[in-house]
Structure 1
Amino acid sequence: MTVSAASLLTRMRTRRGLSMNAVAALAGVPASTISRIEAGKIEPTVAMLDRIATAIGFRLDAEVTESGTDAPFVAPLRRLAEGSPDARGAVLATFPIVAALAPVTRRAGVRRVELTVALPEALAALRSEDAGPVVSSLEAFASDVGVVRSFTPVVYVTDPKVVRSLRDVSRGSSTVMLLMPTTDNVRAFTREVDGVAMVSPEWGLLDALASPGRQADVARTVLEASLVRPETAVA
């Protein structure tokens, strides 16, 4: 059975529970384009449909499937980098929606490990085995690893499954850290801060919003403060 672009886009949008305006904002296209595609008034190119699907966390295949990647983060972060300061607030306002499209616990290759030492010590151990750690979450937003601000810190490494310096979580684990595979997208938004590789503050905030439980709540509070005062950091 042939599936039209109109029905495919409608399925993806309703599955995410998004309005046409929200999809347009995430994909960086006019809302009228989304409306006209769904109404069958225009037939999008494969590139356009793929752009929209990627922006809301899907990949085009024989069927609509979860992408399980960080791809939804890229478009809003690029708009922040390339847009005017006046547009920053509108892009940041989409962050809770964007984060919900790429939950950290559902991305491919994620591994839960125990954090039984200070974060800098854990990072040193990861560097000693050439894991190439890149700090994310609230620590990256604050550009500081001196204090663990996250309930579940997020650190990207080359390959989580081969890390030996940190143990998998057990029933009695108090602090859990998520090891995520470093992707090309992560590399594109990585910088060095005081000798520590970190994702950009905006990527870190997205990962915090995409984290489970109380961490997402704290991140939403931080985001709200940032919308009022763009340079607000984690206290």
Structure 2
Amino acid sequence: MITTSAASLVTRMRLKRELSKTAFAQLVGVPASTITRIESGIVDPTYSMLQKIASGAGFTLSGTLSDVGSDAPYAAAVERIQNASSVERRRLVKKLAQTAILAPVTKRPGVRIFSLDRPIGDFVRYLEQRGANPTVSSLEAVADDIASTRSFTPVVYVERPEDLDDLTPMSPTARSSVIVLPITENVRKFTRWVNGTAMLAPEWGMLDALASPGRQTDVARTFLPQLAARVTMTREAGAAA
């Protein structure tokens, strides 16, 4: 049960994310004026609106404000991008780094990290042979290609990570690693097939790359302008067709 006022709750969400009202509004997908009016007590939002704001900011609504720990903010962000106009799409893609911090890949439910002793393409084919139904994310999904490993730490979703007991867990001596996460309904919603491989939408792949540990985040940031230009051209091409 929520006992604090909506104004106080929304303000706490925003301050925990260390964002201005404008940046916070962009993150959760509502007008900045709405956040301002809620925080000032001028508007008393409905419960569904509070849920939308909390979900977009990566929180659950309860007696205390707690991180969701799920991919719900990712799904909301990708859906906003795919439904936006060309100009708005470019701006939203450049803001993906803000969304990525809401769901670090290593803190998601069911995550497992394994040593990667083969090219990512070979690893994905092995998972397919195992019947794990892998879905590729991170920079490989951004590039639509698993012929070469672009990510320092690739991210792959499978049906049941807990069943992959034959893989070697990550260790300090391993040369590289792969992050394996369970497939969720949100992942299924944004999965597409590229040259016979199940991949997440490029925007989601970018989010996972930005939310990965180590140098992966810095590398992903350098690709943001390219992705912004790409999704804008894709939208314009689709409109022309």
Q: TM-score range by the shorter chain?
A: over 0.9
Contact 2:156 2:179 in 1 (8 A): yes
Kindly indicate whether residue 118 of structure 2 is the aligned counterpart of residue 117 of structure 1.
Answer: yes
Rounded to whole Å, the distance in 2 between the matches of 1:144 and 1:30 is 36
Corresponding residue for 2:32? 31
What amino acid is the match of 1:134?
T
Q: CA deviation at 1:225?
A: 3.4
Q: Is contact 2:121-2:148 (8 Å) kept?
A: no
- The answer to whether the 8 Å contact 1:27/1:55 transfers is yes
Q: Which residue does the alignment assign to 2:198? A: 197
Q: Distance in 1 between matches of 2:227 and 2:221?
A: 10
Q: C-alpha separation between the residues in 2 aligned to 1:228 and 1:196?
A: 24
Please, which moves more after superposition, 223-232 or 201-210? 223-232
Alignment of 1:11-26 (within 5 A): 11-26=12-27
Q: After alignment, is 38-47 or 161-170 more displaced? A: 161-170
Would the alpha carbon gap of residues 219 and 231 (structure 1) be closer, same or farther in structure 2, given more than 3 Å must change?
farther
Q: Unpaired runs of 5+ in structure 2?
A: 234-241
Partner of 1:78 in structure 2?
Answer: 79
Deviation of the 1:160 alpha carbon: 1.1
Paired residues of 1:141 and 1:200 also in contact (CA < 8 A)? yes
Q: RMSD of the alignment, in Å? A: 1.7
Tell me how far apart the structure 1 counterparts of residues 85 and 113 of structure 2 sit (CA, whole Å): 38
> Match for 1:85: what amino acid?
S
* TM-score normalised by structure 2 residue count: 0.91
TM-score, with normalisation over the residues of structure 1?
0.93
- Distance in 2 between residues matched to 1:165 and 1:149, nearest whole Å: 25
Q: Is the 8 A contact 2:86 2:232 kept in 1?
A: no
Q: Post-superposition shift, 1:75?
A: 2.2
Given that 1:111 and 1:178 are in contact with CA atoms closer than 8 Å, whether structure 2 keeps it comes out as: yes
Cα deviation, 1:37-64, whole Å, max 9, x if unaligned, reads: 1111111111100100110110111211
Q: Whole-Å Cα distance in 1 between the matches of residues 138 and 227 of structure 2?
A: 15
Q: Distance in 1 between matches of 2:6 and 2:196?
A: 48
Q: 1:223 to 1:58 in 2, by over 3 A?
A: same
Q: Measure, in 1, the Cα distance between the counterparts of 2:232 and 2:120.
A: 24
Superposed displacement of residue 197, structure 1: 0.5
Q: Structure 1 residues 199 and 230 mapped into 2: Cα distance closer, same or farther (>3 Å)?
A: closer
Ranges of 4+ aligned residues in structure 1 off by more than 6 Å: none
Are 2:207 and 1:206 aligned?
Answer: yes
Of all paired residues, the percent bearing the same amino acid is 48
Please give the residue correspondences for 1:156-195 in structure 2 after superposition, counting only pairs within 5 Å. Answer: 156-195=157-196
**3-state SS of paired residue (2:179):** strand
- Higher mean C-alpha deviation, range 135-144 or range 169-178: 169-178
**Are positions 1:40 and 2:32 aligned together?**
no
- Alignment-derived partner of residue 237 in structure 2: none
Please give the secondary structure, in 1, of the residue aligned with 2:199.
Answer: strand
Structure 1 regions of 5+ residues with no counterpart?
none
- Residues 104, 211 of structure 1: 8 Å contact kept: yes
The whole-number CA distance in structure 2 between the counterparts of 1:148 and 1:28 is 33
